[in-house]
Amino acid sequence: MDFDYFLSLNSKMEEMRLGGLESQFKMVPKERKMINVESIKDPKKAAVLALFYPDQFNLTHFLLILRASYDGTHAAQIGFPGGKFEENDGNLKITALRETTEEVGIPMEKIKMIRKITDTYIPPSNFMVSPYLGLSHDIPRFKTNHEVEEIIEVPLQDLLNENSVSVQNLTTSYMQNVDVPCFHLNDRVVWGATAMMLSEIKDLIKESLR
């Protein structure tokens, strides 16, 4: 998708009704039941950023990262830049911006926030993650920190392509050998909370194209 065309959709995307859990749960195994948010006890807060930007041909891409291997629940996983809320942040939007700057080197002032989408709960780590959509008008110059193993630049058109959706037999935190809906993007399997967020983003963008 041409980046100028993507920019023209932003005003619609800002105002549109979100797909919410209905969109997100397209990308979870049928064995996982929808969680009652009120039943979640004292979740930790975090925020991530889905950053959209042009490439050298002015085609729209978004950013995923492969997290470095470390002793933690989300080590060596594919996701968006982001992390845990800190009191100095003041709000979760700042958390998403700060973490993006720290992890991939994009200055906060270079990012325009589009909107927040539906919070996503991650049971294994008891995090409630607030995802934000943002954009950079410039081709990014990434500078990763120790938390990031690899930058993954995904053409937006690949996400919108229905052929990118598949099912993979995986072992998850709550079940073994279960068929899990996933996205195949840049020869990577993207599943779990990141796939749930991407599903809502995909539905939002597709709806804005109508």
- What is the pLDDT confidence band of residue 171, given thresholds at 50, 70 and 90? confident
Q: Give residue 2's Cα distance to chain centre.
A: 21
Size of the chain, expressed as the number of residues it contains: 210
* pTM attached to this predicted model: 0.93
pLDDT-derived band at 176 (thresholds 50, 70, 90) equals confident
Average pLDDT, stretch 176-197? 93
CB 52 within 8 A of CB 64: no
**Pick from 38-42, 44-48, 50-54, 137-141: least confident:** 38-42
Interatomic CA distance for residues 162 and 183, integer angstroms: 9
* Mean pLDDT computed over every residue of the chain: 92
Please compute the mean of the pLDDT values over residues 159-182 and round it to a whole number.
87
The closest of 76, 119, 60 to 95, measured between CA atoms, is: 119
Please determine, for residue 195, whether its predicted confidence score (pLDDT) is greater than 90: yes
Domains and CATH numbers, the chain: 3-32+42-162+190-208 (3.90.79.10)
Residue 84 near residue 46 (C-beta atoms within 8 A):
yes
